[in-house]
Copies of this chain bind each other. A is one copy, B any other.
Amino acid sequence: MPTEQEILNLIRKITPDSKKYLHDDAAIIENNLVLTTDTLVENTHFTLKTYTPEEIGWKALAVNLSDIAAMGGKPLYALVSLSLPGKISLQWIKNLYKGINSCAKKYKTKIIGGNLARSIEINITIMVIGKVRAGLAPALRSNAKPGDLVFATGTFGDSALGFNVIARRLKELTKQSRPGLHKMIGIASSGKALLAMTHKKPIPQIEKGVKIAKSCKRVALMDTSDGLANCLIQIANESKVKIILDEEKIPLSKNVTVNLALYGGEDYQLIGTASINEIKKIKKIKGIHIIGKVLKGKGAFLKQRNSKLVKLDLKKSYEHFK
């Protein structure tokens, strides 16, 4: 069974045009238009028992909008492709669209078309077109430079905390081990899927993304859908720099541990780096936290409260939920 990374590497290798157009999570074409697509699959990203159709609809659009936000763009239009089993009722579909439409309305996105197909499991693929401001350099992961500061648009770990609470309660109720819990909720693969189920209403940081892009001539930007640690590792790798995250400065929600914040994922905040001069402008945006710095070197590290540096490692991601 090939891993996601192996498949992605293969696809990038055999789609030569993607190198030119695909920046991070979105592709940029003429007229400063940005394109992105994301999919929610039943039992991978949600189950009908744990999500209402409104929540699924909101999330299916919001995860796309978060990708547009991570490019400093504004969403314009969306196409919605639904693959649905015969058992799904008209009322369920109506409620799904309630969720999609309320997210679309809030973030000024027009649903202009889509497709309908028959399937065994629910699959919702949304494609969003947005616009970045003319003349602005795209907010890429590879833009970080030594001397930059690292900023974040909000708090971390809420989603992962939700997962842990749910998992603990289920464990108490059922006396099941974690693999048993996964099986019970119908999840075939990783803890990631179960985790994804706990963050029901991601808030795409469109407004902050646009303000950040406007404030800077150069900014590295990314959304934290795959976790704070993953985000910093990617920026460090793609910019060929070293990033130091300051444990003391991580904005944590109540009851959230640092490990949850680092490896939890599904927070849909933006993380970025910019020069000290431009950080002054970014700091004026409400809710911005400075959480670290960029140095010459490579890799992403956590500077603990005791000043010890610990390398951030994606392999730890789910061990921390044990």
Interface, chain A (partner B; CB < 8 A)? 1-2, 4, 6-8, 10-11, 14-15, 17-18, 20-22, 26-27, 29-31, 33, 35-41, 43-45, 76-77, 79-81, 83-84, 86-90, 93-94, 97-98, 101, 110-121, 123, 125, 127, 129, 188-189, 193
Contacts of A14 in B (CB 8 A): 94, 97-98, 101
Contacts of A45 in B (CB 8 A): 117
**What separation, in Å, do the CA atoms of A120 and B74 have in the docked complex?**
34
A-B contact pairs, 6 of them (CB 8 A): A18-B114, A22-B113, A40-B117, A41-B117, A81-B81, A117-B123
Q: Is the CB of A29 within 8 A of B113?
A: no
**What separation, in Å, do the CA atoms of A15 and B83 have in the docked complex?**
17
Q: Is the CB of A15 within 8 A of B101?
A: yes
Residue of B with least CB distance to A77: B29
Contacts of A35 in B (CB 8 A): 77, 79, 112-113, 127, 129
Known: A15-B97, A120-B120, A120-B121. A112 touches B27 (CB 8 A): yes
Select A11's contact among B15, B27, B97, beta carbons within 8 Å: B97
Residue of B with least CB distance to A189: B118
Known: A10-B90, A35-B112. A43 touches B120 (CB 8 A): yes
Q: Is the CB of B1 within 8 A of A114?
A: no
Select A21's contact among B10, B77, B189, beta carbons within 8 Å: B77
